[in-house]
């Protein structure tokens, strides 16, 4: 069996690996490290959780051990799709470079430009960045990429999903043609294949597992569920989710719950906290400090349930996740593999459950076709009463708009004494003819006029002492002024 000592790594790197408690490389590490040390381009394809990060950090550190960085010209570049993954790669470099004097800089959003510029100005050996923030620094004139010797693209298929491919192509064009490229992805979409053919030179291809396959250590299950009413689907799905969590009991030490939309992440997190669960959301719209605080709490065990969008589906290293719950079926079948790959890592046992509603059945069929396996169906767990009878969570539903005519009726009804107000049901059933005109009934009695005669003309030749044709809405002072003028 191959060991790290057989891979010609720097002795100081081997010492750091030993102190970290590792002896045997994973298949992707054993396949990618030797050609990377030879200076060749590498194309690595492996499912999530197989140790891809170490497969490029270890040879990079060995190759960069000799040499010195220049100001604003990093010697190597690592591109990551998300802030969390970039921060995790930076942590790996800290672990493996503890006995070497290599410098690094982390360029991600949510951090001050000034602090990052100060690090770049000093010169760094390793630059770890997300594509957007990297290009921001380049366009400000604070960064040059002409000194990059090694370039790494991590989670390339996630880059494709997030729309970063044009940025990746531009960054490739800003780096030297003679660079060494290490390209890693869990799946090989046609667009990813095109990029590798364009920017990699005769790469060594290492594929340690069939594309888009789930780990055999993960027990999968699917709950097919139809809501009692369309407008109750959300609240009843949350009820099913809580029932699944309760059914697992103490076996569910911690779990990641995935939603397709950020707004649903917040709603599910709020619902779980309302029912007493230790839960918190994480998605791209949250502040970086809040995201890191939530993730740190999940890692150290102070947070049990992490509700996430797909920003947390790739690359995040939380080794001991016991369960994954798909509140929504992912729209892309490949995302299912990455989601459930958060559990069952490093040979551990894990469980993954997916809630499937009728509109998601087509996407679920695509998932089974991709993994070439039928996911077992399980009956919806009940929380004492049928799921369809669960109460609607009023504070999480959208408010119902009231019509303008209804609001006017309510204003008029408030003006009348409550004892005389007719019940709402009786008002609806009354016929329009029998209903009294509300304006007449509610209008206060008008003060008497100068003449008590009825309106209009009296006997022939006589005219009453009132103004004709002005209507009941005419103010009293207008009528008085006309009467005084006519009397004079």
Full 3-state SS string of 261-274: CHHHHHHHHHHHHH
Using an 8 Å Cβ cutoff, are 156 and 108 in contact? no
- The angle formed by the CA atoms of residues 119, 36 and 132, to the nearest 5 degrees, is 40
Number of other CB atoms surrounding residue 244 within 10 Å: 23
Q: Give per-residue burial for 383-402: e unless 16+ CB within 10 Å, then b.
A: eeeebeebeebeeeeeeeee
The residues that bridge with 150 in the sheet, in sequence order, are 76, 180
- For the chain, list the domains and their CATH numbers: 4-207 (3.40.50.300), 218-396 (3.40.50.300), 401-437 (no CATH), 445-488 (no CATH)
Please, what is the Cα angle at 26 between 25 and 27, to 5 degrees?
Answer: 120
Q: What is the pLDDT of residues 148-182, one digit of tens each?
A: 999 999 988 888 878 899 999 999 999 999 999 99
**Residue bearing tokens 């929380």:** 383
Q: pLDDT-based confidence at 210, cuts 50/70/90?
A: low
Helix or strand (DSSP H, E) at 375: none
Phi-psi sector, 35: left (phi>0), alpha (psi -120 to 50), beta: alpha
458 phi and psi angles, rounded to 5 deg: -95, -135
Using one digit for the tens of pLDDT, what is the confidence trace for 403-424?
Answer: 444 444 444 444 444 444 444 4
Query: What pLDDT was estimated at residue 289?
Result: 82
**In whole angstroms, what is the distance from residue 73 CA to residue 120 CA?**
8
| Nearest residue to 167 (alpha-carbon basis) of 197, 144, 138, 193 | 138
pLDDT digits (tens, 9 = 90+) for 295-306: 889 988 999 999
Distance CA 349, CA 292 (A): 26
Contact 324, 360 (CB under 8 A): no
Q: Which residues pair with 185 in a beta bridge?
A: 45
Mean pLDDT, residues 367-373 taken together: 89
Residue 475 to residue 130: CA distance in whole angstroms: 72
Going through 111-197 in order, the beta strands assigned E by DSSP cover 126-129, 150-153, 180-185
pLDDT at 450 over 90: no
Q: Which residues contact 245 (CB under 8 A, 6 or more apart)?
A: 252, 255, 277, 305, 325
Long-range contacts of 97-101 (CB under 8 A, 24+ apart): 97/13, 97/16, 97/61, 98/16, 98/19, 99/12, 99/13, 99/15, 99/16, 100/10, 100/12, 100/13, 100/61, 100/65
Provide the CB-side half-sphere exposure for 182 (13 A, CA).
Answer: 31
- How large is the average pLDDT for residues 185-214? 84
Question: What is the maximum span of the chain, computed from C-alpha positions, in angstroms?
Answer: 127
Q: What is the pLDDT of residues 11-50, one digit of tens each?
A: 999 999 999 888 899 899 999 999 999 999 999 988 766 7
In whole numbers, what is the pLDDT of the chain averaged over residues? Answer: 80
Report the distance separating Cα 76 and Cα 103, nearest Å: 11
């Amino acid at each position: 069996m191959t060991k790290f000592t057989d891979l010609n790594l720097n002795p100081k790197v081997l010492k750091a690996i030993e102190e970290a408690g590792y002896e045997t490389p994973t298949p992707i590490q054993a396949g990618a490290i030797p050609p990377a040390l030879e200076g060749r381009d590498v194309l690595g394809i492996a499912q999530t959780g197989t140790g891809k990060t170490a497969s490029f950090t270890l040879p990079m550190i060995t190759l960069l051990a000799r040499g010195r960085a220049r100001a604003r010209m990093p010697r190597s570049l690592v591109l990551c799709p998300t802030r969390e993954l970039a921060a995790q790669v930076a942590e790996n470099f800290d672990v493996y470079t503890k006995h070497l004097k290599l410098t690094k800089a982390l360029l991600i959003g949510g951090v001050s430009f000034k602090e990052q510029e100060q690090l770049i100005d000093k010169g760094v050996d390793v630059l770890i960045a997300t594509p957007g923030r990297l290009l921001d620094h380049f366009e400000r004139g604070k960064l040059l990429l002409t000194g990059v010797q090694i370039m790494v693209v991590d989670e390339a298929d996630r880059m494709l999903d997030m729309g970063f491919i044009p940025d990746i192509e531009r960054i490739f064009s800003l780096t030297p043609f003679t660079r060494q490229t290490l390209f890693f992805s869990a799946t090989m979409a046609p667009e990813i294949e095109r990029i590798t053919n364009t920017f990699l030179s005769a790469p060594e291809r290492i594929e340690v597992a069939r594309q888009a396959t789930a780990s055999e250590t993960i027990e999968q299950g699917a709950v097919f569920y139809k809501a009692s009413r369309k407008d109750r689907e959300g609240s009843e799905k949350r009820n099913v989710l809580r029932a699944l969590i309760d059914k697992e009991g103490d076996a569910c030490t911690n779990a990641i719950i995935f939603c397709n939309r950020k707004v649903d992440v917040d709603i599910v997190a709020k619902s779980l906290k309302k029912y007493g669960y230790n839960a918190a959301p994480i998605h791209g719209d949250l502040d970086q400090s809040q995201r890191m605080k939530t993730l740190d709490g999940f890692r150290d065990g102070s947070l049990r349930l992490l509700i996430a969008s797909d920003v947390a589906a790739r690359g995040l290293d939380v080794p001991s996740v016991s369960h994954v719950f798909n509140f929504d079926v992912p729209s892309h079948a490949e995302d299912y593999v990455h989601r459930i790959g958060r559990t069952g890592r490093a040979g551990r046992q894990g469980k993954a459950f997916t809630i499937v509603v009728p509109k998601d059945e087509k996407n679920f069929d695509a998932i089974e076709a991709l993994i070439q396996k039928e996911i077992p169906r399980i009956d919806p767990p009940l929380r004492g009463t049928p799921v369809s009878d669960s109460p609607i969570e009023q504070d999480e539903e959208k408010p119902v708009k009231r019509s303008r005519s209804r609001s006017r009726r309510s204003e008029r009804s408030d003006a009348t004494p409550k004892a005389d107000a007719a019940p709402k049901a009786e008002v609806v059933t009354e016929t329009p003819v029998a209903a009294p005109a509300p304006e007449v009934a509610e209008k206060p009695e008008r003060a008497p006029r100068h003449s008590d005669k009825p309106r209009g003309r009296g006997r022939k030749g006589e005219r009453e002492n009132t103004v004709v044709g002005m209507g009941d809405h005419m103010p009293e002072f207008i009528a008085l002024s006309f009467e005084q003028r006519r009397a004079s």
